[in-house]
Structure 1
Amino acid sequence: MSNSNGVQLMQKVVEQLRLEASLERLKVSQASMDLKNFCLQNAHKDLLLTGVPSNDNPFRPPKSCLLL
């Protein structure tokens, strides 16, 4: 019984390998160029690069209030 389980497991492995082999792949140079272009096109939306407007920043230091 363990032999048939081993055969079934190997058939699943072979099927997965065939599926992965049939996928279309990109060259690393093309993928990195696409990623660079995407980052440059969306840099104006990135708050880490542009900063958070002070009126929208929930973590800004609180203003002191003086009551007399």
Structure 2
Amino acid sequence: MSNNNASGNLAVAQKAVKQLRLEASVRRIKVSQAATDLKNFCLQNANKDPLLMGVPSSDNPFRPPKSCTLF
């Protein structure tokens, strides 16, 4: 019974070491550099952002329907 528990603990420890090695190999940059890159990206793409520029009425599926009158 304790041999099974020990092998289970070993498997958990090996999995933790594998995860730690994976996290240690991730390329990292400074927060200030990431913030600058994000700001530049947002400024470069602001003209394509529908939240900033709005959606043309002809392309807006949520525009209020036009009323029809019959003569």
In structure 2, give the amino acid aligned to 1:55. S
Which protein is richer in helix relative to its size? 2
Identify which of 15, 20, 24 aligns with 2:18. 15
Instruction: Find runs of 4+ consecutive structure 1 residues off by over 6 angstroms.
Output: none
Identity score, percent: 68
Mapped partners of 1:14, 1:5: distance in 2: 14
Q: Unaligned regions of 5+ residues in structure 1, if any?
A: none
Tell me by how many angstroms 1:8 deviates: 1.4
The Cα RMSD (Å) is 0.9
User: How is 1:11-50 mapped onto 2 (pairs within 5 angstroms)?
Assistant: 11-50=14-53
Secondary structure of the residue aligned to 2:19 is helix
The residue identity in structure 2 corresponding to 1:48 is L
Q: Which amino acid aligns with 1:67?
A: L
SS of residue matched to 1:61: coil
Match of 2:6 among 3, 15, 18: 3
After superposition, the C-alpha distances for 1:11-58 in whole angstroms (9 at most, x for unaligned) are: 110121122112221100000100010011011110000000011111
**TM-score with structure 2 length normalisation?**
0.88
Structure 2 alignment gaps of length 5 or more: none
Alignment length (residue pairs):
68
